[in-house]
Amino acid sequence: MTNAEEWTLLRRHRRKPLVEPAEYKRFETVACDRDALQRLLPHRDPLLFVDRVTAVSEDRETIVGERNLAPDDPTFAGHFPEYPLYPGTFQVEAIGQLGLCLWYFRQFSDRLDVGTDARPASVRATRIGGALFNAPAPPDRTATIVAQRLDDDGFRASIIGQFLIDESVCCTAIGEVVFLDGD
């Protein structure tokens, strides 16, 4: 995908959800909590930005998760104390982390749970194709995170994703990772 194509896709989804919330009903329900996420992701608190995975599309192209924006999160004390907002960089990171969860469910397409033998993929972010910020992400809300596969050749993978509050798109981003161990 070219840079121009990425920006066209970002602009198209700046305010429009990648997946309408009503369509989530057609997705397969996943019960993936923080313990399971720690088997999928190399991240830990305070930099684990996905609290749960709730659904994955039947074709394993799209995944839905959540992040609780607790008012007592120290982020809000330092990120505009008079007008607390969840940082855009954390939103982009949450989208990327959910994209890694999608990679797992694509690899194990017969599973809707996270096996006890699951291990985080060895990856490195190589590029953010772009990020657009449309609405604030205030505390005391639950954000819905959506990630959708754009490309995956076994070595490099890219996604587009969104961070939403009350069905309003706060952030739309495209990111790319490279798999270090050939997964």
pLDDT confidence bin for 144, thresholds 50/70/90 = very high
Structural domains in the chain? 3-179 (3.10.129.10)
pTM score, two decimals?
A: 0.96
Q: Render pLDDT for 52-110 as a digit per residue (tens, 0 to 9).
A: 999 999 999 999 999 999 999 999 999 999 999 999 999 999 999 999 999 999 998 88
The DSSP annotation for the chain comes to: --HHHHHHHHHHTSSS-SS-GGGGGGSEEEEE-HHHHHHH-S--TTS----EEEEE-TTSSEEEEEEEE-TT-HHHHHS-TTS----HHHHHHHHHHHHHHHHHHHHTTT-SS--TT-----EEEEEEEEEEE-S---SSEEEEEEEEEEEE-SSEEEEEEEEEETTEEEEEEEEEEEESS--
Q: What is the pLDDT of residues 98-137, one digit of tens each?
A: 999 999 999 988 899 999 999 998 999 999 999 999 999 9
